[in-house]
Structure 1
């Protein structure tokens, strides 16, 4: 998944749309790296002291050490629903100074279960605050994930 181009559904409320697209691309890169299992690429999208309200963690994660601790606590691959796609959409972007505030929806799709039955997607609304660093790169300084519809459960086929 990439978000290098703002979708037609994007609402840039303030600032230059091309600059908003640069910040939006960081979100896309983070999710692409997540699906690929590229921890270093994910971390490159985040400030080392970024705070995160993770969708599965209770407390606020403050910095890389907290994030790494959460990563180590997650179930090993193959023990739960397999994520197959992440789709970030309908962004609303505000730019102010060297910051970008992005609000967007995220859909997580899953492979069918071992029995071949489809699994429901997860839907969350997210907020990301990015800061343009001294090197000109945008990095996430805060990410808030709010699951609205938990996914990974069997789709009711009505049979």
Structure 2
């Protein structure tokens, strides 16, 4: 197993942002999620969908022009992997970037590497 498989999984996931089924293919159906804008630990894709829908309803201004991971660091132990990175959302019209510190725990199964835990913290 190569560390490149883990970082490629994360990069591929964000390249598919906007295509929910393609994005969600990188997520375990029962993943757990900590997000800066969610009070409680979220469990499962249905809880993630609820968060996504509430974000869309509250959106002010244009969507980001790009969202991409930077400064990725990865390691693995057998079928478990860990990827830490900075996630940067870029906006047009002189609006500043929004950045998050992210840690994803992944597990390899028959479909490949999938995120089983996602932790994101807004930093600016």
What is the TM-score of this pair, normalised by structure 1?
0.71
Instruction: Tell me, yes or no, if the aligned pair for 2:72 and 2:83 is still in contact at 8 Å.
Output: yes
Alignment partner, residue 4 of structure 1: none
Matched, 1:147 2:109: no
Unaligned 5+ residue runs, structure 1?
1-15, 113-117, 150-159
Number of matched pairs: 124
Deviates more, 1:85-94 or 1:137-146: 85-94
Alignment partner, residue 110 of structure 1: 91
Instruction: Tell me, yes or no, if the aligned pair for 2:6 and 2:74 is still in contact at 8 Å.
Output: no
Report the aligned-residue RMSD: 1.8
Q: 1:63 aligns with which of 44, 59, 64?
A: 44
Instruction: Tell me, yes or no, if the aligned pair for 1:129 and 1:140 is still in contact at 8 Å.
Output: yes
Unaligned 5+ residue runs, structure 2?
none
Q: 1:119 aligns with which of 95, 111, 124?
A: 95
Q: When you count strand as a share of all residues, which structure comes out higher?
A: 2
Alignment partner, residue 41 of structure 1: 22
Q: Are the structure 2 counterparts of residues 21 and 43 from structure 1 closer, same or farther at C-alpha, using a change threshold of 3 Å?
A: same
Structure 2 Cα separation of the partners of residues 59 and 131 of structure 1: 23
Larger Rg: 1
- The 5 A counterparts of 1:1-159 are 19-34=2-17, 37-76=18-57, 79-112=60-93, 118-133=94-109, 135=110, 137-149=112-124
